[in-house]
Amino acid sequence: MTLTSPHLGSSAGWTDARLLYALEEVVEKELNRHLKVTKDWMPHDYVPWSDARNFPGFFEDGEAWDRSQSKVTDIGRIALVVNLLTEDNLPSYHHEIASLFGRDGAWGTWVHRWTAEEGRHGIVMRDYLLASRAVDPDELERFRMAHMSEGFESDNRHSMLHSVAYVAFQELATRISHRNTGHQSGDPVCDRMLARIALDENLHMVFYRNLLGAAFELAPDLTMQAVRDVVVGFRMPGHGMPGFERAAAQMAIGEIYNLRIHHDDVLQPVLRFLKVLQIDGLGPEGLKAQEELGLYMNGLDGEASKFDERLAARKSRMAARAAG
């Protein structure tokens, strides 16, 4: 790396600016790797345009939306709206990471490339939803206006290191949410579209995960504290949208995203890959953060087990009612 420091392993001497500079070569390396493995794709190729027809308004032949017009399941419809509204706030996300990471050098190139790739996700999802009539278009637009009018401010906007830690987990969480939504959608076309989006999200996760690993090598104490803070306070970026709590509860029951999935498929894979709970040589603050992270993960596993039991009991009740 370009920058060496006598403070390696301690919190002293590291600022966001110094870490940004120290990680520049890693960003360039990861950017080049990303560009070699990623494949361009066309959003319009994934949209069933032949299913589309006019909506009422300016067209005399317009047909009003009705739930029966789409083959998408109820839980698929709920999750698709949540996932799309999350993607819609891309301007706020771009502003935040551009402010934190900068617009110059490898960092800036990555920020713009990431934004361009993420832009495809909102495009293809909205086109699919409207062409296939999977959701009420008027309600979707009202939700979009309300959500974007509020803007978005991350819990981690105060720190570049916290933001890198957050997106390492959040990109994987988004990938899992998209894939499970596709599986539960009831529409193979939707499943194929979301699988394509999920591939992008996974590559974004790998970029940030590897960057986080490099940060552990440079400033393990500070990075451990950032990971602890992010994991303990983790919230998905869509938490401010209209009706999010109810939708999140339905998605949890529908096994699209819940505590068990969050623990097993999002947090654990990143922590395990980076061997976060096995890192040694930490200073007092880093060791404290590592211990607290381990305790939190144990507690979350216990909460996830309780959720699993409640969900199994619910399924049994529903099966009994159906049989009766």
Q: How far apart are CA 110 and CA 104, in angstroms?
A: 9
**Residue 243 region by backbone torsions, left for phi larger than 0, else alpha for psi between -120 and 50, else beta:** left
Q: Give the pLDDT of the chain (324 residues) as one tens digit per residue.
A: 333 333 444 555 778 889 989 999 999 999 999 999 999 999 999 999 999 999 998 888 889 998 889 999 999 999 999 999 999 989 888 988 888 888 889 999 999 999 999 999 999 999 999 999 999 999 999 999 988 888 777 788 788 899 999 999 999 999 999 999 999 999 999 999 999 999 999 999 999 999 999 999 999 999 999 999 999 999 887 777 778 889 999 999 999 999 999 999 999 999 999 999 999 999 999 999 999 999 999 999 999 999 999 999 888 888 788 776
Which residue type does 39 have? K
Query: b vs e for 89-108, b when ≥16 Cβ sit within 10 Å of the residue's Cβ?
Result: bbebbbebbeebbbeeebbe
Cβ–Cβ < 8 Å for 244, 71: no
Q: Which two tokens stand for residue 42?
A: 């066309």
Residue positions forming the annotated binding site for Fe cation: 87, 118, 121, 171, 201, 204
- What pLDDT is attached to residue 2? 35
Q: How far apart are CA 306 and CA 263, in angstroms?
A: 13
Residue positions forming the annotated binding site: 87, 118, 121, 171, 201, 204
Task: Read off the pLDDT of residues 88-125 as tens digits, 9 standing for 90 and up.
Answer: 989 888 988 888 888 889 999 999 999 999 999 999 99
Place of tokens 């200073």: 283
**Could you tell me the CATH superfamily of domain 28-46+73-323?**
Ribonucleotide Reductase, subunit A (1.10.620.20)
Task: Read off the pLDDT of residues 38-55 as tens digits, 9 standing for 90 and up.
Answer: 999 999 999 999 999 999
Q: How far apart are CA 84 and CA 136, in angstroms?
A: 13
| Portion of the chain with pLDDT greater than 90, in percent | 70
What is the helix (H) or strand (E) element at residue 6, kind and residue range?
none
Q: How far apart are CA 159 and CA 147, in angstroms?
A: 24
Distant-in-sequence, close-in-space partners of 259: CB < 8 Å, separation ≥ 6: 252, 300, 303, 304, 307
Q: How far apart are CA 22 and CA 3, in angstroms?
A: 5
- CA atoms in the 13 A half-sphere facing the CB of 6: 0
Question: CB count, 10 Å around CB of 12?
Answer: 12
How wide is the angle at C-alpha 18 spanned by C-alphas 15 and 21, nearest 5°? Answer: 145
Q: How far apart are CA 82 and CA 1, in angstroms?
A: 40
Largest CA distance in the chain: 73
- What pLDDT is attached to residue 57? 82
- What pLDDT is attached to residue 12? 59
pTM given for the model: 0.90
- What pLDDT is attached to residue 8? 45
- What pLDDT is attached to residue 233? 93
Of the candidates 319, 284, 274, 277, the one whose C-alpha atom is nearest the C-alpha of residue 301 is: 277
